[in-house]
């Protein structure tokens, strides 16, 4: 069996201005100009900006058909790995090779528009997640019955209950058909019975030979779904191996 | 755990043979990676194959923009007609009747409306293009696809309003008894040129807007100034000879004048049109280059 994901010495550096939320640190043109005029030789580092290595020299391989869990504390860098592999952010150094079509599921219902009907959102969301129109046509009935919202499929989703909304969103995602699926903490959606259904669907997905990379805080899911797991600590891999062992290592931390 | 029938039927069976029991892999891995992820140098060429693969998404985003635009309005898409019609009536009164601005030998309403039609399409497309990335930040931080799709969809969605507003032009042409001529054939390349120019400016501003939110405040002013230096309300011939070069620098001048020339059977301003085409291509190339260079950190900055 060959690796379908090869991650080699991946590192990601973030610059953070103290006192400013990292998610929104755009600068105005004036700030850039002032900075350039006032201190043309000052590197960002001295300018009060902090540098954080969200990932430092991370390497691992995922075999074809494997379900790999990524666990670790908040802020350890789990989501950064997924975002780099999903091509949302670019690594600072290192490289990763993916030998298959990737779909990333970092959030359910990405691109859902409140004013559009459930039907319209299935098509929109499916297209955003990388499905072809024909594929959505083929799976439409299945998606709707999985979400259990047949009656409301032509209602604008802003009138949905939050449970209905999440079920529909998950249903679209569950019917993606990539070779590699990258999933971030989206399995805990809906009530207990729907969660059970989601896990069952994930099980189907993994049985069909697809490779799944899964970030979750639910260690039970890691133990049931994943064969192997990676433990991330402060941007570095501190454990990799059979899921049970890595989970045990994490629990001891 | 017993599962409902829907989960076991699975979508998997649709595309490839599966062997659920033995966990065998039903497909071979390619020799070369499908995707290679690494830090890029600052110069990134356009990934045409990637863009082509996302053409359906482009279609869906245009469709969404159009679908959402007139939701919860009573008059709906009629707004695309009411707005320019109202502007035409007011401007005809002030500039055509009161100020007696000349209009190249055609009635002022139709003279103004042709310019207004192009201008409204262009300014709306630039405006929605410029704000498109920020408005879709939830997509940018969660899913990968060629980011160029987003401003392109915003510009493309403007074509529908343009089409609706054109109905009014057809009405005016009939009302003023303009004959249908072969010159109308020029309209298609002219509309394409306007779209490409709006695309270039929209792409560039959208990328700039991600980093510098000043764009939001500068743009309305810029658009207003731009309208006055375009031969919209007045013909270019009204401008004193020594200042006409300034007007000619504006690529929209050539486009609007050619538009009128092909409708009213006037002499085509070929050199102005050639200039507009050249500038459009330059802006497009520069904008997509800048966009590609900047898109790497969109998700981090937006």
Model confidence over B198-207: pLDDT tens digits? 999 999 999 9
Determine, for residues A26 and B23 on separate chains, whether the beta-carbon distance falls below 8 Å: no
CB contact under 8 A, A128 and B60: yes
Give whole-number Cα distances, A224 to A148, B21, B32, B266, in Å: 26, 17, 32, 76
pLDDT above 90 coverage of chain B, percent: 67
Mark A196-209 as b/e (b = at least 16 C-beta within 10 Å). Answer: bbbbbbbbbbbbbb
- Look over chain A and give the mean of its residue pLDDT values, rounded to a whole number: 85
Give burial (CB, 10 Å; 0-12/13-18/19+) of B300: buried
Instruction: Note the ipTM here.
Output: 0.83
Report helix, strand or coil for A187: coil
pTM reported for the whole predicted model: 0.85
pLDDT at A249 over 60: yes
**Any idea which residue has 């350039």 for tokens?**
A36
A204 close contact with B: CB closer than 8 A: yes
pLDDT digits (tens, 9 = 90+) for B51-82: 888 899 999 999 999 999 888 888 888 999 99
List the one residue out of B116, B235, B30 whose CA is nearest residue A64: B30
Helix (H, G, I), strand (E, B) or coil at A55: strand
Q: Do A120 and B296 touch (CB under 8 A)?
A: no
The answer to whether B64 contacts A113, with C-beta atoms less than 8 Å apart, is yes
CA-nearest residue of chain B to A31?
B212
Please state, in angstroms and rounded to a whole number, the distance separating the CA atoms of residues A201 and B104.
Answer: 69
pLDDT of residue B42: 64
Say what the pLDDT of residue B110 is: 95
- Do A197 and B296 count as a contact with CB atoms less than 8 A apart? no
- CA distances in angstroms from B191 to B36, B66, B116, B122, listed in the order given: 39, 19, 13, 10
pLDDT band (50, 70, 90) for residue A68: very high
Closest residue on chain A to B34 (Cα)? A99
Helix (H), strand (E), coil (C) string for B181-234: CHHHHHHHHHHHHHHHHHHHHHHHHHHHHHHCCHHHHHHHHHHHHHHHCCCCCC
More confident residue, A230 or B245: A230
Site from A24, A33, A59, A90 to mutate, B interface, most B CB atoms within 10 angstroms: A90
Determine contact, residues B142/A106, Cβ cutoff 8 Å: yes
Instruction: Inform me whether the C-beta atom of residue A106 falls under 8 Å from chain B C-beta atoms.
Output: yes
- Output DSSP code: residue B238: G
Using alpha carbons, select from B115, B262, B91 the residue that is nearest to residue B178.
B262
Which residues, including other chains, have CB under 8 Å from residue A196's CB and lie 6 or more apart? B1, B3
Handedness of CA A80, A84, A90, A93 (dihedral sign): positive
Identify the helix (H) or strand (E) that includes residue A228. strand A228-233
> Which pLDDT value is given to residue A26?
60
Give the chain B residue whose CA is nearest to the CA of A67: B23
- At residue A195 the predicted structure's pLDDT band, cuts being 50, 70 and 90, is confident
Q: Which residue of A has its CA nearest to B298?
A: A89
| pLDDT band, residue A118 (cuts 50/70/90) | very high
State residue A35's pLDDT score. Answer: 64
């Amino acid at each position: 069996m060959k690796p379908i994901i090869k991650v080699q010495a991946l590192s990601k550096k973030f610059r953070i201005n103290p006192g400013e939320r990292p998610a929104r640190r755009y600068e105005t043109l004036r700030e850039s100009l002032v900075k350039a005029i006032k201190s043309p030789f000052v590197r960002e580092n001295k300018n009060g900006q902090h540098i954080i290595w969200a990932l430092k020299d991370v390497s691992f391989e995922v075999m074809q058909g494997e379900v790999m869990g990524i666990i670790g504390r908040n802020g350890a860098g789990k989501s950064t790995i997924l975002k780099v592999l999903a091509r949302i952010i670019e690594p600072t150094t290192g490289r990763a090779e993916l030998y298959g079509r990737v779909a990333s599921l970092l959030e359910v219902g990405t691109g859902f528009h409140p004013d559009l009907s459930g039907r319209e959102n299935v098509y929109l969301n499916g297209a955003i997640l990388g499905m072809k129109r024909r594929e959505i046509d083929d799976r439409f009935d299945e998606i709707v019955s999985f979400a259990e919202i047949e009656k409301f499929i032509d209602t604008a989703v802003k009138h949905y209950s939050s449970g209905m909304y999440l079920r529909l969103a998950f249903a679209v995602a569950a019917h993606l058909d990539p070779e590699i699926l990258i999933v971030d903490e989206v399995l805990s959606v809906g009530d207990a019975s729907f969660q059970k259904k989601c896990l069952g669907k994930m099980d189907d997905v993994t049985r069909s030979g697809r490779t799944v990379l899964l970030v979750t805080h639910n260690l039970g899911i890691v133990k049931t779904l994943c064969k192997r797991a990676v433990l991330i600590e402060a941007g570095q891999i501190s454990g990799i191996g059979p899921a049970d062992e890595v989970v045990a290592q994490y629990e001891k931390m | 755990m017993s599962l409902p029938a829907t989960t076991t039927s699975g979508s998997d069976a649709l595309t490839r043979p599966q062997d659920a029991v033995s966990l065998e892999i039903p497909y071979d891995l390619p020799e070369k990676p499908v995707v290679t992820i690494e830090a890029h140098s600052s110069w990134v060429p356009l990934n045409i194959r990637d863009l082509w693969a996302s053409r359906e998404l482009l279609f869906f985003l245009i469709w969404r923009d159009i679908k959402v635009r007139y939701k919860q309005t009573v008059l709906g898409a009629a707004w695309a007609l009411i707005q320019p019609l109202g502007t035409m009536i007011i401007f005809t009164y002030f500039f055509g009747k009161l100020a007696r601005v000349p209009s190249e030998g055609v009635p002022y309403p139709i003279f103004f409306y042709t310019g207004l039609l192009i201008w409204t399409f262009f300014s709306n497309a630039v405006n929605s293009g410029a704000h498109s990335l920020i408005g879709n930040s939830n997509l940018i931080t969660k899913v990968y696809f060629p980011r160029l799709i987003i401003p392109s969809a915003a510009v493309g969605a403007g074509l529908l309003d343009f089409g609706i507003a054109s109905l009014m032009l057809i009405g005016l042409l009939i009302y003023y008894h303009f004959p249908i001529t072969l010159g109308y054939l020029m309209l298609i390349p002219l509309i394409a040129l306007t779209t490409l120019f709006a695309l270039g400016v929209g792409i560039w501003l959208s990328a700039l807007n991600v980093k510098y939110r000043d764009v939001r405040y500068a743009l309305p002013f810029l658009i207003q100034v731009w309208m006055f230096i375009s031969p919209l309300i007045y013909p270019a011939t009204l401008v004193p000879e020594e200042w006409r070069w300034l007007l000619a620098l504006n690529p929209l001048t050539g486009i609007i004048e050619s538009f009128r020339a092909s409708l009213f059977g006037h002499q085509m301003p070929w050199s102005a049109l050639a200039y507009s085409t050249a500038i459009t291509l330059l802006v497009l190339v520069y904008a997509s280059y800048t966009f590609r260079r900047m898109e790497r950190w969109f998700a981090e900055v937006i």
